[in-house]
Amino acid sequence: MLAELLADTEELVRCESPSSDPEALARSADVVARVGERRLGVAPERLGIHLRWRLGDGSGVLLLGHHDTVWPLGTLDTHPYTVDGGVMRGPGCFDMKVGLAMAFHAAAGRSGVTVLVTGDEEIGSPGSRELIEEEARKAGAALVLEASADGGALKTERKGVSNYEVVVTGRAAHAGLEPERGHNATIELAHQILAIAALADPSRGTTVTPTLLSSGTSVNTVPARGSVAVDVRVLDEAEQTRVDVAMRALRPVVPGTTLELRGGPNRPPLQASASEALFARAAALSKELGLPDLRGVAVGGASDGNFTAGVGTPTLDGLGAIGGGAHADDEHVLVDALPDRARLLAALVEDLLAGATTPSARTGAPRP
């Protein structure tokens, strides 16, 4: 099994797939289709850069992953695919091409499984969210093949995400001759950034972080335009709503400036209640297989598992590779851990299919 997993992963990693490059994603989708067909025996449905395999009616278990990565074309030249000393390296190996290979192996020969591989997760899943939610509503459980947390822990809780851009329009003027005739977008942004940062509530796990900032055109001109991006992470929907209402209530402070707010909630929280039962089943299976005790952790990062949990489907995330360095130069996978991880995933899929988990057995409350 390990040799096959490594061969499949190498094929996937060697086809670079940055989210921002449609042509690269199309090539990657071809490779994913080829690898998946080799393991599953059937070709996928091609939905643009997304791929779907329905095995049988596909209503038992949804295996979910993505083939896009954060790495630009040419990364293989500086970060080639290698396996050395029990460590795999290469762009996207940990996040999350090993997970795709694992999903194909776990689904092979089984009926009642849907494998969905999307191509835009790293940019917020703008083109695949409806597809993910549609498939999740049909499934009894969603297993997300994102990489594990530290030490192989499963991700049993994820924060919800909102993304905003605050755009300020003012009026330009010469900064030396007549600055009083301008309406300074930078000063307005300073007021707004302080107000936005104050919306965070650490006691409730809510972070509100101004990030990318841009303003002005030259060193001797009163800035007429500027913008700031805002990243929001929350543990529950009440907090996501609170911050959204407050963001939409922002008003300009500097006379003559105007505000425009773009964006909003992107992913609902994956709350612990959505994963509790599935984690318990996975932990029991791990003991039966003689594997180390499983741990579940809450993480700040989001995934497409937020969407499956958001429609009420029991969801367990982080079932993919064990390693580290997602989105970083030291991205890596621990090869020796792969066989046991694959055994656990296959056992969990088989167990869920045998238990005939159906949408009616869901524990989460679906989003409207």
What are 173-197's pLDDT values in tens digits?
999 999 999 999 999 999 999 999 9
- Structural class in CATH, domain 2-158+269-361: alpha beta
Task: Provide φ and ψ at 344, rounded to 5°.
Answer: -65, -45
pLDDT at residue 285 is higher than 50: yes
Among residues 185, 191, 190, 186, which one has the least CA distance to residue 170? 185
Coil, strand or helix at 139: coil
CATH code of domain 160-267: 3.30.70.360
Mean pLDDT of 332-338: 98
Tokens read off for 215: 């303003």
pLDDT at 160 over 50: yes
Please give the angle made by the CA atoms of 119, 333 and 48, to the nearest 5 degrees. 10
Query: Is 68 considered catalytic here?
Result: yes
> How confident is the model over 187-210, as a mean pLDDT?
98
The one-letter amino acid at 114:
T
pLDDT of residue 355: 86
Domain with CATH 3.30.70.360 in the chain: 160-267
Cβ atoms of 177 and 356 within 8 Å: the answer is no
User: Among this protein's residues, is 121 annotated catalytic?
Assistant: yes
Residue 192: predicted pLDDT: 98
State mean pLDDT over 265-274: 96
Q: Please, where in the chain does CATH 3.40.630.10 lie? A: 2-158+269-361
Residue among 8, 95, 121, 317 flagged as catalytic? 121
Task: Quote the mean pLDDT of the chain.
Answer: 95
Mean pLDDT of 210-235: 98
Q: Of 16, 68, 95, 304, which is the active-site residue?
A: 68
Q: Does the global pTM surpass 0.85?
A: yes
- 242: region left, alpha or beta (phi > 0 left; psi from -120 to 50 alpha): alpha
pLDDT higher than 50, residue 17:
yes
